[in-house]
Each structure stands twice: as C-alpha cells, then as structure tokens.
Amino acid sequence: MVSYGDGAYAAGCADTTRAGRGSGQAEGRPGGQRGIAAYKACEVLRRLTESGHDVQVVPTEASLHFVGAATWSALSGHPVSTQVWNDVHQVPHVRTGQAADLVVVAPATADLLARAAHGLADDLLTNTLLTARCPVVFAPAMHTEMWEHPATQENVATLRRRGAVVIEPAVGRLTGADTGKGRLPDPGEIFEVCRRILARGTAAPDLAGRHVVISAGGTREPLDPVRYLGNRSSGKQGYALARTAVARGRG
Ligand SMILES: Cc1cc2nc3c(=O)[nH]c(=O)nc-3n(C[C@H](O)[C@H](O)[C@H](O)COP(=O)(O)O)c2cc1C
C-alpha cells in the first residue's frame, strides 16, 4: 500500500496504495503478491481504511490467484490494476509512487523482494516501488527455506540498506503441515508499523545505528527464598517502547 498526506496511506499485499491529502482525492492502490498469506492483507487494508486512510491496492498478477480484483476494489473503494497499460493518460506507472505517503508490500513474496532489490519494473507494483520516495514497508511471507536462502537474505539486506523497513516474519504454522519462520506478521503488527511511520512523517530516523535494550514485564524482588514483592505489569508498555525504537531506527 502507499499513503499520501496526513493520515492517509495505502497498504497492500505485494500491493501499493496511496491516499490524497487535503484535496479530498485520497486514493489507494493495494496490490497483492502470489503468496497464500494474501488473504490476511484484507485485514491490513480494512484497518487502514477504518482508520481514515485512503488506500490504493496494486496487486501483482500472481496474487489474484489468492484474492481477486473484485475483493480489493470493493474493500478499498478504488479500481485496481496489476499493470501499467490501464488509464495510460494518467501515467499510473509513475503517478502512484510519486503521490504516495507510504507503500506497504504485504505479503512480500521471495519473488517480489528479489525484483524490488534488483530494481525491476515489470508490473505496476514494481514501477511504483521505483518511483516512490516515501517510506516503504515490506511484510515478508514464505516458507522457512525460502526466507533463509542466502539470495533472499541478501535481497532483504539490500532493501534495508536503502532505507526500506522489512518486518521480520513470524514463526508458526506455514502453508503446508510444516512450522517455522516465514509466516506473515500479524495484520495488527503490520498496521502498527505503518501507523508509527506515518505519525513520524518525514522526521529523520534519529535512532538509526543505535542499540536499544528494553526490559518488559513484571518485577519480582525476593524477600527471602520463598516470598517476593511483585507487580502485575503486562509488559505491553515495554513492547510499545521497543516497537517505537525500531520505527525510529529504520526510517
Ligand atoms: C499455493 C501457493 C502458495 C505460495 N505461497 C507463497 C508464499 O507464501 N511466499 C512466496 O514467496 N511465494 C509463494 N508462492 C510462490 C509464488 O506464488 C511465486 O513466486 C510467484 O511468482 C510470486 O509472484 P509475485 O511476487 O509477482 O506475486 C506460492 C505459490 C503457490 C502456488
């Protein structure tokens, strides 16, 4: 997804979205990659739109095997296109990226990460990634072997070095019967990353390169070998501080 302007953004699964500011012309283009986690991106899109953001979905062609164009269009309130040949008079291959406040690629397949890292521009989504000058967030989803492959890891490192935010995949049940690292991060987590980046605006990542250690959770002070003084801390504040530190460190 891509977002533009105050509180407007776009989110997508291998998608791009955008929203207009002030003009009342907010628009978003969500896109989807051909990853089976694409259906979860519907929840990310819903959270964005319900927060008042205008989202343009820019699906990849492959992603439409999992979530169809009609779903993206209905949920976002905008027509969707996977390629650069529709509405050519509006020059969508540059306009979408240029106008965005935020581009969110969710789920980011191994293929999309590779195309983005190498600067390919063979569909509307990758054209948008090349023309966007706003923050870009990738939320990867793939099998553990694909995620751990040196090619994918080098592509992720390249994207991060250029300033993109690549969220770590979650650990858990994957598409088949197997379990491991590679699940699409929880839609709530993706939304939270987007929200923080948009709230920060164009401010510099003032914690870039810094190492931050935050402890979270309740304290237990021993009184004797059996008893202790404690509190009911949930740890939520510590986790919130950690997420903010990450957002301020990665542009
Ligand atoms: C059922 C199924 C599930 C897939 N799930 C994933 C996935 O989770 N992550 C991934 O990187 N590729 C996955 N693939 C492979 C991608 O679909 C393939 O790399 C595709 O070319 C990606 O296209 P895109 O990046 O343009 O969306 C899956 C393929 C199939 C058939």
Structure tokens given for 25: 């012309």
| Phi, psi for residue 23 in degrees, rounded to 5 | -80, -10
Quote the ligand 1 centre to 34 CA distance (angstroms): 4
**Residue 175: per-residue pLDDT:** 76
Ligand 1 atom 9: the closest Cα is on which residue? 142
Structure tokens given for 122: 């063979």
* Average confidence (pLDDT) over 158-170: 94
Residue 173: which pLDDT band, with cuts at 50, 70 and 90?
A: confident
Query: Does the pLDDT at position 208 exceed 80?
Result: yes
Query: Does the pLDDT at position 93 exceed 50?
Result: yes
If one compares 24 and 177, the residue with the highest pLDDT of the two is 177
* Average confidence (pLDDT) over 168-183: 87
**Residue 14: per-residue pLDDT:** 37
Quote the ligand 1 centre to 83 CA distance (angstroms): 18
Quote the ligand 1 centre to 141 CA distance (angstroms): 9
Query: Does the pLDDT at position 251 exceed 80?
Result: no
Query: Does the pLDDT at position 22 exceed 70?
Result: no
The answer for residues whose C-beta is within 8 angstroms of residue 237's C-beta and 6 or more apart is 216
Identify which of 30-39, 228-237, 239-248 has the greatest average pLDDT. Answer: 228-237
| Phi, psi for residue 96 in degrees, rounded to 5 | -60, -50
Quote the ligand 1 centre to 119 CA distance (angstroms): 19
Q: Which atom of ligand 1 is nearest to the CA of 112?
A: 25
Q: Where are the alpha helices (DSSP H) in 185-232?
A: 187-200
Quote the ligand 1 centre to 33 CA distance (angstroms): 7
**Residue 206: per-residue pLDDT:** 83
Residue 6: which pLDDT band, with cuts at 50, 70 and 90?
A: very low
Query: Catalytic: which of 86, 127, 155, 231?
Result: 231
DSSP letter string, 109-173: -HHHHHHHHTT--SSHHHHHHHH--S-EEEEE---HHHHHSHHHHHHHHHHHHTT-EEPPPEEEE
Ligand 1 atom 19: the closest Cα is on which residue? 111
Please identify, in words, the CATH class of the domain defined by 2-203.
alpha beta
Query: Does the pLDDT at position 248 exceed 70?
Result: yes
155 a catalytic residue: no
Residue ranges around ligand 1 (CB below 6 Å): 14, 33-37, 60, 62-63, 109-112, 141-142, 146, 175
Best mutation site among 13, 33, 34 for ligand 1 pocket (most ligand atoms within 8 Å of CB): 34
Residue 177: which pLDDT band, with cuts at 50, 70 and 90?
A: confident
Q: Which atom of ligand 1 is nearest to the CA of 123?
A: 26
CA distance linking residue 164 with residue 82, whole number of Å:
22
If one compares 14 and 122, the residue with the highest pLDDT of the two is 122
* Average confidence (pLDDT) over 244-248: 79
Residue ranges covered by each domain of the chain? 2-203, 206-251
* 3-state percent helix, strand, coil for the chain, nearest multiple of 5: 40, 15, 45
H/E stretch holding 240: helix 236-249
Task: Check: CB of residue 32 under 8 Å from CB of residue 14.
Answer: yes
Ligand 1 atom 22: the closest Cα is on which residue? 34
Of 29-38, 84-93, 110-119, 213-222, the poorest mean pLDDT is in 29-38
- Closest of 139, 207, 220, 143 to residue 175, by C-alpha: 143
**Residue 100: per-residue pLDDT:** 92
